[in-house]
Structure 1
């Protein structure tokens, strides 16, 4: 298939994921079936998604590759240099703990995405560390949880999977540039033709032109059940751009008294400004906020050493 083609849709596979079923049944018999089908039962549209991936610069041999090495909190290879740091601010109940991954790439396509179970569709989830392990990732963060919604432009590893523009997205280009864009003003195929390698559809943008974006403390990303607001002190995941092929990822722990209370969106933006980011974009947070490095969890997503399943990760192998 060519890089601008959308993979063929497959017949949906239906299997209960448990957990949320009891909550949804409590909504009433009339709505439970719909709610389960929409938010719990997994619907596979593309199986074996990695088979459709477009050729990357690394695949094409434009970047020499050797086995990378990990030394303490730093990973170095011909494709990327990654440095992990931990920051603790405040004290007592106002303590905030967050983790920074400074990533310098030699080829922008070394930053990849992976779907849970290697399948694209709704409600398909796995723990981020398991997704990372399945693709041999040395570094990974949770993605935008595309599978919780039916809208947004989804381009992953050079392939368009969904074209339903609805919000402010972030596009990662093959040449190492990263831009915030209006999904409703373009198409997935056009973005792929223009050289987009990956997209994120969550938001909002929290830093533009090196400054905190005004009004982000009032933004609603979605209107799905239980997901109207992303405000207040929360665990967070976001990505910032320092320059071409120079990214910074921040994961903030939260909801854990005395360890980390989380941050507001303006506070998250200030972190990125302090790191020198000219652009920063909020992605899925809360209990999904996860960073993995060298096969181990860096942060504590749920405050008890465990993870919550999500649809996808961004990673470097």
Structure 2
């Protein structure tokens, strides 16, 4: 969650899509490397890209869903993924908190993917999370790091590097199902891809490391740009965590709605992950952006109004 929209009811202004630069892609050379998943990866710097999914680093075959596990409110089973979603309500009155935990186990880490609004990479390109999820056939999705609000960070998505301007603490998912927190300023996109990184997220902060809540997360600043300084206080939140290789947790907490959900502090969000056995966890964009989509439907209730807010990207489980 970023404080650019601290006040309840404030919505992002309508933004025209930026002109997408065409051409130049034919001159990009495919990088070599270890592992078939990375054979077709590309590194792209400072370019807005149309049809971003066409550059995916590997072709992934996803098994058809087991009919017995599809279409339910709480679960999904396929040949490559098992998903259960819990709705949790704690407290009463103004202390009430409502949140949603998707426990996901996959057999192939590369079915945990990212998608851009409109399938285009660039600043200020937005769409509702459910729209982005529908475009890619996601079974489960949460809002991402809203990379399009800034022009910094390392952005690697589905094995492709779209931006390489390290600025903050990031989260890197590897194609082997592992993940780690890392300092973006101490590495670069090419080295991360060579290390098997499949997706990065650039928001933060890291919430949990080695199974313990990270110190100082309630006072952290994410960016220095105006309107996005802090993620403090009790707010709607989105986070992602890892229990073990190929075992993920997606958490969305509703907030800013008296009597329904007050939201949580950063340390309270971290505690949710610890209580679920997470070895690491990471904070994503939140506030009115916090959204969980399952089988095409909105699971949570953003700001108590049931309305999504446009964002630049999602993290999802392919189906």
TM-score w.r.t. the length of structure 1 is 0.85
Q: Find the counterpart in structure 1 of residue 157 from structure 2.
A: 156
Following the alignment from structure 2 to structure 1, what is the Cα–Cα distance between the partners of residues 86 and 46? 41
Q: What is the alpha-carbon distance in structure 2 between the residues aligned to residue 117 and residue 92 of structure 1?
A: 40
Separation in structure 2 between the aligned mates of residue 254 and residue 241 of structure 1, nearest angstrom: 24
Residues 141-180 of structure 1 deviation map (CA, whole Å, 9 limit, x = unaligned): 0000000011100000000000000111000000000111
Match of 1:51 among 48, 51, 54: 54
Q: 2:65 aligns with which of 55, 64, 67?
A: 67
SS of residue matched to 1:277 = coil
| Residue matched to 2:13 | none
Deviations 1:198-250 (A, max 9, x none): 00001111111111111111100012221111000000000111001000010
Deviation at 1:4, TM superposition (A): 4.7
Retained in 1: the 8 A contact 2:101–2:251? yes
Query: Structure 1 residue 83 and structure 2 residue 81: aligned?
Result: no
For residue 242 of structure 1, what is the aligned residue in structure 2? 243
1:118 aligns with 2:119: yes
**Alignment correspondent of 2:15:** none
Work out the CA distance in 2 between the residues paired with 1:308 and 1:72.
Answer: 22
1:162-311 map, 5 Å: 162-311=163-312
Aligned 8 A contact 1:154 1:201 in 2: yes
- 8 Å CA contact 2:41–2:57 kept in 1: the answer is no
Q: Secondary structure at the match of 1:122?
A: coil
Structure 1: give runs of 5+ residues left out of the alignment: 11-44
* Local SS of the residue matching 1:114: strand
TM-aligned CA deviation for residue 288 of structure 1: 0.5
Distance 1:55 1:273 in 2: 32
SS of 2:134's equivalent in the other structure is: helix
The separation in 1 between residues aligned to 2:56 and 2:212, in whole angstroms, is 35
Superposition CA RMSD, Å: 1.3
- The offset of 1:8, in angstroms, is 7.2
Q: How far apart, CA to CA, are the structure 1 residues paired with 2:73 and 2:151?
A: 40
The residue that corresponds to 1:147 in the other structure is 148
What's 1:5 paired with? 42
Structure 2 CA distance, aligned partners of 1:184 and 1:237?
A: 24
C-alpha displacement at 1:52, in angstroms?
1.0
Q: 3-state SS of the aligned residue for 2:155?
A: strand
Q: Which is worse superposed, 188-197 or 95-104?
A: 188-197
Q: Which residue does the alignment assign to 1:93?
A: 94
